[in-house]
A = this chain, B = another copy of it.
Amino acid sequence: MVAAVAANCVIGVDIGGTKMLVGVVDESLGVLHRIQQPTADADTNELLDRLASMVDEAVEAAPGEVLGVGFGVAGILDAKAGMIAAAPHLPLVGVPFEALMGERLGVPVAVDNDGNTSMLAEWLHGAAKGVSDAVMLTVGTGIGGGIVANGGLVRGSSGGGAEFGHMVIEQDGEQCSCGGHGHFEWYASGDAIGRAGERLAGRNPASALAAAAVEGREVTGALVTELAHDGDAASIEAIVEVGKRLGQGMVSITNIFNPELIVVGGGAIAAGDLLLGPAREIVEREALASLGANVSIVPAEFGADAGVIGAAVLAFEQMAQA
């Protein structure tokens, strides 16, 4: 039994702006071994070296042969140029990542945007299994995502899709970290929950949220979510507000894609139906009736390990096609 499981492993690597997470993943998508390191302060070569040594360590820890390595990167790929075109928090812009990591590791390597790997994992093995038209939103610091249409992952002409966080939902609105204006992730991300929480703490001095702020705790999306689950009205209001904004973006997604499913992952999904409830109400009220009636809005199945598992699924897929 152990031998059978051990026969097919891959390494999944989740490269985020603050940390890198490497996992040994078997075919049933169990994560057998985890290695984590901070991303911060590394230059390009250091980062690549650190990744290579983490992967080597994972390969040694694997209970059998490692078939390949998948990377999910918090950045925009340019598949045509074979490099990472944009990555706000990583020293990887302009880097031919797949080629360089392949050289360093000497095993087959697959690379994609982390929104796409999350969509792939949910579609092949999670909440969107068997669905031919679905959209994934990963709601965290920003908003990433992926698209399945006609039973295939949609990556765009140069592999740079699907940046749902950078949809315009407010003309001439607030400036986004990317330089654009009025983007979805400003209004509907985990960070947006934190910002709404700060504002509502100020307006509700008797709230648990205001008390936490006075104690010197940073008002983050995670804190607001925690206090909302404890019943704090101001915290709940902050999440409902952001849930409605999330719903407005989902109206666009519903009317454009006519998806069967919108899957919501990322850190903000810890708020559960406090966040998804208001989003569902907006879609029901504001989307084109015949399309809104055909869409379900559901939480992702893969939680904290979604990044590693998504990258592993990418590796399994690439090996299967090779």
Contacts and interface: CB of A to CB of B under 8 A. Distances in A.
B162 A256 contact: yes
B76 A290 contact: yes
A159 interface: yes
B252 A168 contact: yes
A187 interface: yes
A258 to B, nearest CB: 2
Interface string A150-169: 10101111111111101111
Given A288-B166, A290-B78, A180 B149 contact: no
B290 A86 contact: yes
Interface string A219-253: 00000000000000000000000000100110110
Contacts of A158: 258, 290-291, 294
Interface string A270-301: 00000000000000001111110011000000
Interface residues of A, number: 54
A78 B295 CA distance: 13
A259 B161 CA distance: 9
A171 interface: yes
A257 B166 contact: no
Nearest to A93: B290
B133 A180 contact: no
Contacts of A156: 133, 149, 257-259, 291
A46 interface: no
Contact of A256 (B159, B161, B251): B161
A86 B154 contact: no
